[in-house]
């Protein structure tokens, strides 16, 4: 009888040890699985964070200046982006309601759209969108290509739309040869109560050097 009881107790102990071993094994398996699960990458976390931008903080960070530009072929856009990065200011692109096509910019065709606009003193191509908080800016950098020796008529639309009295306007252009003086004169006529700085003519490949010298000359370098 004692032998039977002893065998019975031994079986119970063995069953208990087996159950504990399985529990420990399951726990280790669970821990191992948890450690192998990849954590969100730093890049993903930064992306999630950057998607929630506080507008007031952005405006504070970028100061009281704005880079406004019109670009038909991309050259002026490149210069404007370089200037924006150098000065840590916001960008605003002047986008025509009716985009310009290659045919519109065929300078050898007297009847092309750009040619007709540039030879029409009353031409004011419509702009898509607007700047709602223009009053928040004290300095407006304005960039454009040179068409027929001066700025495109869509810039006339821009200056007719906004009263920039008391603000500083710093004009810059991209051009293969023509200067910016005629455009600056037109801006002075359209915005007589603004302060117009010396203009800059540059090209994308020389933008960084030219912009640095220009900003120092007109007293707007950071």
What pLDDT, on the 0 to 100 scale, is given for residue 177? 86
* Residue 174 three-state SS: strand
* Residue 154 three-state SS: helix
At 77-111, the pLDDT tens digits run 999 999 999 999 999 999 999 999 999 999 899 99
**Euclidean distance between the first and final Cα of the chain, in Å?**
99
Q: Comparing 201 with 18, which gets the higher pLDDT?
A: 201
Q: In whole angstroms, what separates CA 88 from the centre of its chain?
A: 11
What pLDDT, on the 0 to 100 scale, is given for residue 4? 41
What pLDDT, on the 0 to 100 scale, is given for residue 22? 44
What pLDDT, on the 0 to 100 scale, is given for residue 63? 63
Radius of gyration of the chain (CA): 33
At 154-200, the pLDDT tens digits run 999 999 999 999 999 999 999 988 999 999 999 999 999 999 999 99
Domains annotated on the chain, with CATH: 63-217 (3.40.50.360)
What pLDDT, on the 0 to 100 scale, is given for residue 176? 85
Q: From CA 72, how far away is CA 115, in angstroms rounded?
A: 14
What pLDDT, on the 0 to 100 scale, is given for residue 27? 37
Q: Which letter does DSSP use for residue 201 in this model? A: E
Q: From CA 190, how far away is CA 27, in angstroms rounded?
A: 78
Closest by CA to 149, choosing from 184, 116, 108, is: 184
Residue 201 contacts residue 175 (beta carbons within 8 Å): yes
Helix boundaries (H) for 37-141: 42-50, 55-62, 75-87, 113-118
Token code pair at residue 53: 């931008």
At 106-151, the pLDDT tens digits run 989 999 999 999 999 999 999 999 999 999 999 999 999 999 999 9
């Amino acid at each position: 009888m004692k032998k039977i009881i002893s065998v019975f107790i031994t079986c119970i102990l063995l069953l208990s040890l087996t159950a504990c071993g399985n529990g420990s094994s399951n726990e280790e398996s669970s821990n191992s699985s948890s450690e192998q699960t990849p954590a969100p990458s730093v890049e993903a976390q930064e992306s999630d964070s950057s998607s929630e931008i506080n507008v007031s903080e952005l405006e504070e960070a970028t100061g009281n200046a704005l880079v406004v530009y019109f670009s038909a072929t991309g050259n002026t856009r490149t210069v404007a982006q370089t200037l924006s990065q150098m000065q840590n200011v916001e960008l605003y692109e002047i986008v025509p309601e009716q985009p310009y096509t290659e045919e519109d910019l065929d300078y050898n065709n007297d009847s092309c759209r750009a040619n007709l606009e540039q030879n029409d003193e009353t031409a004011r191509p419509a702009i898509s969108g607007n700047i709602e908080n223009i009053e928040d800016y004290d300095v407006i950098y304005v960039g454009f290509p040179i068409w027929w020796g001066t700025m495109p008529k869509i810039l006339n639309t821009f200056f007719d739309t906004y009263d920039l009295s008391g603000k500083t306007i710093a004009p810059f252009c991209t051009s293969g040869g023509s200067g910016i003086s005629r455009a600056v004169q037109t801006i002075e006529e359209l915005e007589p109560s603004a302060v117009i700085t010396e203009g800059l003519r540059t090209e994308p490949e020389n933008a960084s050097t030219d912009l640095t010298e220009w900003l120092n000359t007109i007293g707007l370098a950071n």
